[in-house]
Amino acid sequence: MKDVLELKVMLEADVDAVLNVEYSAYSHPWTRGIFLDCVKSGYECWMLFRGAQQVGHAVLTAAAGESHLLNLTIKPESQGNGFGRYLLQHMLMRAQQREADVCFLEVRASNAAAIALYDQVGFNEIGRRKNYYPMAGGREDALVMAFTLDDLQG
């Protein structure tokens, strides 16, 4: 069945494919070097496929009881189909498996769709980073959000 969702650990050889999705989704995407550093550092780096098509990726780090969701990207034409929620749930389970108690993230204040997803899953806004993200013509605030992994529904 071509619509089966499959998760795959991201390897160095996958970075070009990941960059294609990253560049399609963001005006200020992560660089090849950032992804390579994450893979080499042993972060939780995952790719999501729908059949043979890569639809997204995510990166998470976990240490000392905390995890940080550093990147969660779904290609624009695949958004709105539940793939982001599926990938987010997987990343939260990975954080829990790495003995994290909480997951933090930053999200652009203008990214209403992502903020809605994080709210629905149970993240809470705990702060704001002024002028955190670059944008055309200036900078944009980031909302800082947290999720208590004890709340994770299996």
Active-site annotation holds for 22: no
Active-site annotation holds for 118: yes
Catalytic residue among 22, 44, 106, 140: 106
Q: How far apart are CA 131 and CA 47, in angstroms?
A: 29
Counted residue by residue, the chain has a size of 154
Ranges of beta strands (E only) in the chain are: 5-9, 44-50, 53-63, 66-74, 102-108, 124-135, 138-148
Helix (H/G/I), strand (E/B), else coil: 112? helix
Catalytic residue among 22, 43, 44, 118: 118
Amino acid identity of residue 97, one-letter, is: Q
Chain mean position to CA 29: 13
Which residues are known catalytic residues? 106, 118
